[in-house]
Structure 1
Amino acid sequence: MTKRESPINETRVCINDALTDDELRAILARLEDDKDKEGFGMVCKRWLHLQSTERRKLCARAGPLMLKKMAARFTRLVELDLSQSISRSFYPGVTDSDLSVIASGFGCLKILSLRNCKGVTDAGMVALGNGLSYLQSLDVSYCRKLTDKGLKAIAEGCCNLRSLHLIGCRFITDGLLQTLSKHCCNLEELGLEGCSNITDTGLTSLVDGCRSIKFLDVNKCSNVGDVGVSSVSRACSSLRTLKLLDCYKVGDESIFSLAQCCKNLETLVIGGCRNISDESIKSLAASCHSLKHLRMDWCLNLSDASLSCILSQCRKLEALDIGCCEEVTDMIFNGLGSGGFQSSLKVLKVSNCPKISVMGISILLESCKSLEYLDVRSCPRITKVGCDQAGLQFPESCKVNFTGSLSEPDVSL
C-alpha cells in the first residue's frame, strides 16, 4: 500500500488583513440601503469606525453630552437635522448650549435644520456663525426668539450660505437682508413667510448683492409691494419660485416685471393679491411658458379673458388654483384643446366659482387625461349627481372633492 499523502495545509486569510481602509470604504459606498450600511458597521469595531466616519447625514434628538459623542464618532458629517415636531415637541428641546457643541464639533457641516426649535436664541446663532464656516443651508423656521442680531452673525460667518429659511421669525427686519446682500452673494433660497417687518426697501437691498436667487417666499409679508417684487425680478432672472400669498400691496406692476424678466418662472403664488388684473396675467401667460404651479385664489379682478390664456398657453402647467375667482365661467376651458395638445394639468382647484358648471368640467376632461385632483367645493352648479347624469368619466386616479367646508384641510398647491 502506498502511503497516504498528507493534505495540503490551507491558510485562512482574515478579510481585515486583506482589505485596506480605502477598499472597505469603496465597498461601503456601493451600499445604497441604510439598513445595509448599518449592518456593515456591526461586523466589527474597525468597520463600525469606517461606517461612522463615512456617514454624511444624521437626524437625531440629543443633548450636549450625546452631541459631543456624536461629533467624535461622525467626524465627516455634512447634514444634521435636529428639527422638532410641532405636535410632539419635547422639553427643553434644542438649546443654545447644544448649538455651541455643534459649532465646535461638526466642522464639516453644510446643512443644518433647527425647524421648530423654539428654545434657541441669538446666542446660539452667534456660536454657529463663528464655528460653521462651511454652512450652506440653514432652516430656523418657527424659532421665534431669533432677531437680526443672531442671524447677522450667520450671514457674516457663513459666506457660502445658499439656503436660509426663516418662516415665522417675526422679529427679522430689512437690516438682515442688507447684511445678506453684503456677505452672501451665492444665496439661492430665502424663505421669509410671516416676517411682517420685511419691506420693499429690504428686498431692494437684498438683490443688490444676491442676484442668484431662485426661490423667494415672502408669503404674508404685508409690507411687500410692487417696488420690492419688481426689484427682485429685474435683478434675478434665474428666479424659479416666487410666493406672494396675501401680499395685498402687490399688483400688475409686479406681474408685468416678472413676465419681462423671469421667463423661466415655474411656481408663482399670488393668492389674495386682489389688485392684479387680466392684462398682467395675459402678459405672464405669453412669456412664462415654464409655469408649472400657479396659485391665484381670491384674485377677484380676474376673468375668463386671462385665465383661458393661462390654460391654453402655459402647456407645462401642472397645478392651478383659482378658488373664489367668482367671475370665471366655463369659457376658461375652451382653449384647452387648441392645437390638439394634451394638458399636463394634475391639480385644479375651482372652489367657490359659482359660474363654472358640469359643462365646463366635461370640456376640461377632454384634454386633461392626467388629472389627479379636482376641487369643486362650494360650486353650486357642479355636484356628484350632475356629473354622473352627464356621464363624465374622470381619470381612474383622480380624486374629486365635491363637499366640505373651504376651511377644511385640502391638497396644497
Structure 2
Amino acid sequence: MHDIRLLRDAPEAFDAALGRRGIAPSSSQLLAIDEARRALIRELQELQARRNVASKEIGQIRRSGGDAAALTAEVQAIKERMPALEAEEAELGHKLDAALASLPNHLDDAVPAGADEADNVELRRWGTPRSFDFEPLPHYELGERMAAGPVLRGMDFERAAKIAGARFVVLAGPMARLERALAQFMLDLHTTEHGFVEVQPPYLVGTDAVFGTGQLPKFADDLFRTTDDRWLIPTSEVPLTNLVAGEILDEAVLPLRLTACTPCFRSEAGSAGRDTRGMLRQHQFSKVEMVSVTVPEASRDEQDYMTACAEAVLQKLELPYRVVMLCSGDTGFSAVRTHDIEVWVPAQQTYREISSVSNTRDFQARRMRARCRKAGERDTRFVHTLNGSGVAVGRALIALVENHQQADGSIRVPPALQPYLGGAATIGAA
C-alpha cells in the first residue's frame, strides 16, 4: 500500500517509480480524488464548527427569552446536509484506497530494467550439473516406475486425476516418505541453525489477511475461495506475515523470523499448457516458507540472509543451482527486490525456480497496519516484511530425484537427508 503523503509531496517521482514497471502515470487522477475528498473533509469540519457555535447561540437566545427560529433552521439544514457529504467523503475514501491498493510496490534502485524472466540477471552459481553415463529420466517417469506396495506407484497422476482432476498427484511409498523427509529436514535446518521459529498456521484465512500480503484484490483469480468467504492459502507467507497485523512490536524483539511447512493452493490461472506433465505446476503442493519482520534499516541485509538460508538447503542436498535478481518486469506485485533461486532440472536441461526471496519493505505493513517502536519512545514506524521459500518441497523432490537418480531407477540419498530416511543411502528401484 502506498502512502498518499508521499504522492502529494512528489507526484512526478511516484509516476516515475511505477513507470519502471510499465505502469502509466496515475498521480494526477489520484491527487484529484484526494483533493476532492479533503475538500469535503474541510467542508464537514466547517459545518460541524458552525453547528456547534449556532447551537450555543440558540441556547443563549432561548435563556434570554429571544427568538432562535432562524438559527434553529440553520442548524437543522446543517444536520440534513452532513449525511450526504459524509457518504460522499466515504465513497471517495474507498475509491482512493482501492486505487492505491491496485498499484504495485516501487522497485529498489538495484532492480535491473527488463520485460520478463529473460532479462533477469544472474548473480552466482553453485555446483556443476551432473554428466550422466546413462539416459536420465524425468521425475514423473521415475516415480511412475517406482513400486509403492501391490497397487500404487511412487507417483500416481492417474489416480490423482480420478479423485481431484488435473494438476494433482498422489505420492505413495518411497516418494511419500521422501517428501515428508525433505520437509522435516528443511524445518530442522531453519529452526536449529538459522534462527527461525516453527509455526503451524491455519490453511484457511480471511479476506483481510490475503489483502494484507497483497494477493487481493489484484490476484483473486489465482486463489481458491470457500463458500463462507475464506481463502485457501497460496503460501504460508499469508498467515505468517499476518500474525503481526494491527500490532505494535518492540524493536528489541526484531527480526522476528518464522517458518512453516504447509500445503499451498493455487488455481494456476493463465498457465494452461505450461508444465502439464509431472509435479512442476500443481494446484496443491507443499512448501517450507520463511517470513521475517524487521526494522526498516535491517531489511536489505535480511533479504541476503534469507537467500543464504534457502541456498543452504540446496547445498546440503547437493543440488546445483543459480541465484538471479528479477528484473523490473518479473518482480512480483508486493516486492521491491526479489532473488530467485533456480535449481538444475536434468530432464529439462535448465534451471527452474525453487525459491523466491522478496523484500516488500513497508508495503505489506501499511496494508496490515503493523508497526514497531523502540522501548520508552512514543513514535512508531511501519515494520519491513520479507518472505521466501525455504524451499518448495515438491520441487526439491523433483530436483533430488532427477539429479540423484541411478541407472537402476533408484535414488541416491545425500548424507544430510539420510537420518530422515532411517539411514538409507538409496530409496526405491524400478
Band the TM-score falls in, shorter-chain normalisation: under 0.3
TM-score normalized with structure 1 length: 0.20
TM-score normalized with structure 2 length: 0.20
Q: Which has the higher strand share?
A: 2
Indicate the structure whose relative CO is greater, using CA pairs within 8 Å and at least 6 residues apart: 2
